[in-house]
Amino acid sequence: MAENVEWNDAKFDLVFDLMDPEGTGKLSFNDVKEKFLAKALRRMGHNPTDTEIEQYLNDMDTNRDGFVSKSEFKEWNKGFIEAFNNPEKSLQMAVKIMFRACDLNADGRISKDEFRQFMSKNGKALTDDELTLLFTIADKDGDTSTLNLEELLCILRVGKLFSQNKKK
């Protein structure tokens, strides 16, 4: 079981400064990719694509200037650690990241085709009938052809329950 991780501002400053040796006060996509995210995610057994790393960067870059400032870095990581220490928040954060990865055209909705591509890419090919069933079960807004964030969370919870019952 993971222990609670305690970080303070000084630790965040140190990590940021190690990633920003030139002292610019901001990190670029490549800084985040090469010095932080890719290494951390690979240690957890995940080999992130540039698109996935860009999604993390977009989460951190709250002022949308294309860089991550020290304060943005601290706030994002504090939220990440809080989520890491809280299973429900961890699930919500993972769903948001998954949603962005699925929403290929960035319209705020996941189409069946986008969901199929994501699942197939991750080794879980779905039939048309399975997709229709999932989208119908999760539907909360009357649009069974797309998913919003809340509906994706519903699908993941149903999948988790199904997996747990299958093991019994």
Q: 108-167: what CATH class?
A: mainly alpha
**Tens-place pLDDT, residues 102-139:** 888 889 999 999 999 988 888 888 899 988 888 888 88
pTM given for the model: 0.55
Which CATH code is given to the segment(s) 9-84? 1.10.238.10
Taking each helix axis as running N to C, give the angle between helix 149-167 and helix 87-102, from 0 to 180 degrees, rounded to the nearest 10: 120
Q: Where are the alpha helices (DSSP H) in the chain?
A: 9-19, 29-32, 38-43, 50-60, 70-84, 87-102, 112-121, 128-138, 149-167
CB under 8 Å to 5, separation ≥6 — which residues? 81, 84, 85
> Are 62 and 72 in contact, with CB atoms under 8 Å apart?
yes
pLDDT, tens only, 19-49: 888 899 998 878 777 776 667 666 766 666 7
